[in-house]
Structure 1
């Protein structure tokens, strides 16, 4: 089990938009309240490593902040690259997410059109909610790997 923390939580009312940072969020069985990706499907919440954003900023001379890669949760201090489908993240006191998909089809998204690069299709963890609760910036995140 490895540990990190929530660097930011971001939402947008509709899919296909950049997200705005919020201080706190309620996670239901369908995803984050008031986020366009919440629903009855597997890609309810997207997680990305804050270190990946910093690296992309440095390599591409950008100043991208929370939500600008269209992610819901930026995680700091935890290497997400070892996670596979079925692994879980425990966030805060109650929230448990299960990795449903890693990466996705890369298409000309608002992120690519705005920044010229994208991260979610390659590094994003698309998760479904196992257990809901309330999350806030700075909450601890623990990974549970169920593979060898």
Structure 2
């Protein structure tokens, strides 16, 4: 089992997200008020805390949401899960739809550090059942 460490949103695509006290996930849409919501397979983005902390230890000054992630999660190796894995987080139910992503243009973090972890560490999910998510909520692979 893991734990949600941060929840983040942005109103425009291509920008860093900012931390929120909580977010509401809508079934078959994503995070309410987030620019990436919609009827597609990348409704919610998740990034594990551990590689973010390692990136910070290398000198990167990045906050939660800097990589465009909606949920920062500690304790689950997200990229090792197979596509189709379901995750519960509070009352919500997510389905893993994509591992990593192709970066079409180098982001500001890449230009600063020569690297960006989202393309290889981030995962994307569809929202099967909505609800509220906040830092401190448990997240786990559904049985």
Q: TM-score, normalized by length of structure 2?
A: 0.91
Equivalent pairs counted in the alignment come to 141
CA contact (8 A) 2:79 2:99 kept: no
How far apart, in 2, do the equivalents of 1:82 and 1:88 lie? 13
Structural RMSD (CA): 1.5
Residues 1:51 and 2:50 aligned together: yes
Structure 1 runs (4+) greater than 6 angstroms displaced: none
Give the SS at the match of 1:53: helix
Relative distance call for 1:111 and 1:96 in structure 2 (3 A) is: farther
Residues 1:95 and 2:92 aligned together: yes
Residue 20 of structure 1 is aligned with which of 18, 21, 25?
Answer: 18
How far apart, in 2, do the equivalents of 1:144 and 1:123 lie? 21
Q: Shift of residue 64 of structure 1?
A: 1.7
Residue 85 of structure 1 is aligned with which of 66, 83, 86?
Answer: 83
Note the residue ranges of structure 2 that are not aligned, 5 or more in a row: none
CA contact (8 A) 2:79 2:100 kept: no
Give the SS at the match of 2:119: helix
CA contact (8 A) 1:11 1:20 kept: yes
Q: Shift of residue 113 of structure 1?
A: 3.9
How far apart, in 2, do the equivalents of 1:31 and 1:115 lie? 30
Q: Shift of residue 115 of structure 1?
A: 4.8
Q: Shift of residue 114 of structure 1?
A: 5.3
Q: Shift of residue 79 of structure 1?
A: 2.1
CA contact (8 A) 2:79 2:122 kept: no
